[in-house]
């Protein structure tokens, strides 16, 4: 038996299996990664929405991380829902001595509007965890909250990505799935100068429960396999596109994506387009990353 690379998920639960820890572990397994998990909160939810949230004590979260550290060192870490400022502090401190790349999906609120990380927790996330983050993956609403704005439009994405980089992460994937239009356009930016759009046809489906969790854990999986960040992001997008295309039929609300392994159709890969700023000067499209590793 060939040993699988190990990845961790640090997140909340989901009894319906579509998001949080259960979804992350499904992604890990389907992509050939062995998953360890650290539960931060018990979330009562299903495909119809979040009913209630019970955060764990910070000491219990810390004990889980210590337990994994002594036995299952990770090749990559996905961080999702952290629930409280105390848990954010614990996670940031415990990850400080671990050299694995960290993908942070900043879960601030549910799609139905339930608060999943309060204002104090958001400030701790910015102050303590983002400087330790390899890739930050907010949607438009989460990006607006992190930057202290009321809302954000798709046209603001390149400028917002620059502002998010100033908060400390090495790279940002700003997701445009909540915008309108026939295309889903995400903006990828890194401290090394990469700036590019990742563009896929928008899939008009209702089974979108856990797309953010799935994307971030898929990227972490590809990082655990040793892929460079740029290709890992594109493959993560392809995994989500595949899951949207082939999912459905679960639950009475927004059902989960399918988890069917490595993307097998070239049509699921996003188109990579360089960003051309308003002054007309081309910025690096990041293709150099695709030749490494």
Q: Which of 35, 121, 212, 243 is catalytic?
A: 212
Residue 51 is a catalytic residue: no
Element (H, E) at 273: strand 271-274
Give the C-alpha separation, 81 to 77, whole Å: 13
Q: Which of 12, 211, 236, 247 is catalytic?
A: 211
* Backbone phi and psi for residue 61, each to the nearest 5 degrees, phi listed first: -65, -45
Q: Which of 58, 213, 255, 286 is catalytic?
A: 213
Q: Which of 9, 84, 134, 208 is catalytic?
A: 208
Residue 210 is a catalytic residue: yes
Q: Which of 175, 184, 214, 230 is catalytic?
A: 175
CA neighbor of 210 nearest in space, from 143, 140, 257, 142: 257
Element (H, E) at 102: strand 102-104
CA neighbor of 143 nearest in space, from 179, 184, 180: 179
Residue 213 is a catalytic residue: yes
Residue 206 is a catalytic residue: no
Residue 212 is a catalytic residue: yes
Q: Which of 20, 35, 80, 210 is catalytic?
A: 210
CA neighbor of 17 nearest in space, from 216, 239, 258: 258
Residue 211 is a catalytic residue: yes
90 neighbors 77 (Cβ within 8 angstroms)? no
93 neighbors 240 (Cβ within 8 angstroms)? no
CA neighbor of 170 nearest in space, from 188, 149, 185, 156: 188
177 neighbors 257 (Cβ within 8 angstroms)? no
Query: So which residues are the catalytic ones?
Result: 175, 208, 210-213
């Amino acid at each position: 038996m060939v040993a699988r690379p190990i990845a961790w998920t640090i997140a909340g639960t989901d009894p319906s299996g579509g998001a949080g820890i259960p979804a992350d572990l499904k992604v890990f397994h389907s992509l050939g990664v062995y998953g360890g998990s650290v539960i931060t909160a018990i979330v009562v939810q299903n495909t119809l929405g979040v009913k209630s949230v019970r955060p764990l004590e910070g000491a219990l979260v810390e004990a889980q991380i210590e337990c994994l550290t002594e036995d299952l060192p990770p090749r990559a870490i996905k961080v999702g829902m952290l629930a409280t400022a105390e848990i954010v502090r614990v996670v940031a401190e415990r990850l400080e001595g671990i050299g694995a790349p960290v993908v942070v999906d900043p879960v601030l609120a549910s799609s139905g509007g339930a608060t999943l990380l309060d204002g104090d927790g958001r400030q701790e996330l910015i102050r303590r965890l983002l400087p330790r983050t390899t890739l930050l993956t907010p949607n438009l609403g989460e990006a607006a909250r992190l930057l202290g704005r009321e809302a954000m439009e798709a046209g603001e994405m390149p400028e917002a990505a620059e502002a998010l980089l100033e908060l400390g992460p090495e790279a940002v994937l700003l997701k445009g799935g909540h915008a309108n239009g026939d295309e889903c356009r995400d903006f990828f930016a890194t401290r090394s100068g990469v700036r590019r759009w990742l563009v896929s046809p928008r899939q008009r489906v209702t089974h979108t429960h856990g797309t953010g969790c799935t994307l971030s854990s898929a990227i972490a999986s590809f990082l655990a396999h040793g892929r460079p960040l740029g290709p890992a992001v594109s493959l993560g997008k392809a995994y989500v596109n595949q899951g949207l295309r082939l999912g459905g039929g679960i639950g009475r609300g927004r059902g989960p994506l399918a988890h069917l392994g490595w993307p097998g159709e070239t049509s699921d890969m996003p188109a990579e387009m360089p960003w051309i700023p308003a002054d007309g000067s081309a910025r690096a499209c990041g293709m150099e990353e695709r030749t490494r590793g």
